[in-house]
Amino acid sequence: MKFWISGYSKEGSPSVSLYDLGCQTAVWTANLPNPSYLCFQEPFLFALGEFHDHGQLTSFRLQNGTLVPIDSLRVEGGALCHITVNASRTFLAGSCWETGHFFTVRLHPDGTFGQVLFSQILDDGTRRKSRMHFSKILGEYIYGVNIELDAIFCFRHENGILCPVSVLRLPSGCGPRHFYADEKRQLFYCVTEYSSELLVIDSSHRENLRLLDRYPLLDPGFSGESTGSTLAVSHNGKDLYAANRGEDTIVHFHLSDEGIPTLAGRYSCYGNCPRHIALLGKDRLLGIANQKSDEVILLERDSANGMLGKMPVNRIPFASPSFIAGC
């Protein structure tokens, strides 16, 4: 089983790795500056570079068992923190935390970058600071999550050219960060950074997204500072896992047939600051990128009830990891 790891640059350490669990080693590495997020669509790997005053995009092609650099592009916007590619690989979308830029870039069939198709600091008219953190492409629509404006923007797109559709305004100060789209149930599950909650959103009408409910992610007895980071949902749609940085836990919810979450467990992340999590190997494992303890943790998952193992089955040293995902 192979999976991707990336993180923030540290001198003398790889910042991107393709790790083979069977061999217990990285089979490919690269040293890019601050690749805090990756996007893989075989045979291409797209990496971002997160910088204060600009963003950097880099593309690779899988060729003869290794990844060969293809192209790079400097883009407008500070702290580029998330990228995603549409299913037909005709454009890439990026979100910038520092400046609030949301942009799309044309992709050519050979994996090279074309022109910037859309670039805008998304605004809700309140003059508050704009900070984009995540986007999701679903068919002919794309959704952008603004962590500081407490809003999810919906656009219709035509090969990366965007036209606004609607804006969902969420509770003030919650800080929406990442969401999972359950297209069958027509629900979004959104982790908030500032309020450490799980939001359930009705996505059945794009012109009128609706917040249905809010679920706390932190233990009622926890008194320190903690922020939500990201989430993962099992392929069968029965289990959802969310990460807390500060409490340093993974929270497990069972999802009913209707998609209603019920708290099912709380586990240690076995490290410090779980910035990103992912289910791996046909949901047999949960991978945790613990940014501040320089380690990726793998926990075994029970396929029958979704429970996680009490101890890590693997500890993979990695400098300041911020991202993990399967191939």
Please say whether the beta carbons of 105 and 86 come within 8 A: no
Q: Is the pLDDT of residue 123 over 90?
A: no
How far apart (Å, rounded) are the C-alpha atoms in residues 146 and 130? Answer: 7
How much is the mean pLDDT over the chain? 97
Calpha distance 32→13 (Å, rounded)? 10
Helix extents (H) in the chain: none
Q: Is the pLDDT of residue 12 over 90?
A: no
- Whether the predicted pLDDT of 129 surpasses 90: yes
Residue 104 has pLDDT above 90, yes or no: yes
For the chain, domains (ranges, CATH) are 35-169 (2.130.10.10)
Per-residue pLDDT tens over the stretch 148-197: 999 999 999 998 999 999 999 999 999 999 999 999 999 999 999 999 99
Q: pLDDT tens digit string along 36-94?
A: 999 999 999 999 999 999 999 999 999 887 999 999 999 999 999 999 999 999 999 99
The C-alpha atoms of residue 240 and residue 167 are separated, in whole angstroms, by: 25
Percent of the chain with pLDDT over 90: 95
pLDDT of 126 higher than 90: no
Strand, helix or coil for residue 261: strand
Q: Is the pTM of this model over 0.85?
A: yes
The band of 294, judged by pLDDT with boundaries at 50, 70 and 90, is: very high
Percent of the chain surpassing pLDDT 70: 100
CA-closest candidate to residue 216, choices 203, 232, 228:
228
Q: pLDDT tier at 124 (50, 70, 90 boundaries)? A: confident
Distance of CA 242 to the CA centre of its chain: 12
What confidence score (pLDDT) does residue 64 get? 84
> In this predicted structure, what is the pLDDT of residue 11?
86
pLDDT tens string 210-221: 999 999 999 999
Residue 7 contacts residue 31 (beta carbons within 8 Å): no
* The pLDDT of residue 295: 98
Residue 9 — very low, low, confident or very high, per pLDDT cuts 50/70/90?
confident
Q: Cα(289)–Cα(151) distance, rounded to whole angstroms?
A: 26
pLDDT band at 125 (very low <50, low <70, confident <90, very high): confident
pLDDT in tens, 184-216: 999 999 999 999 999 999 999 999 999 999 999
Q: What is the pLDDT of residue 322?
A: 98
120 SS3 class: strand
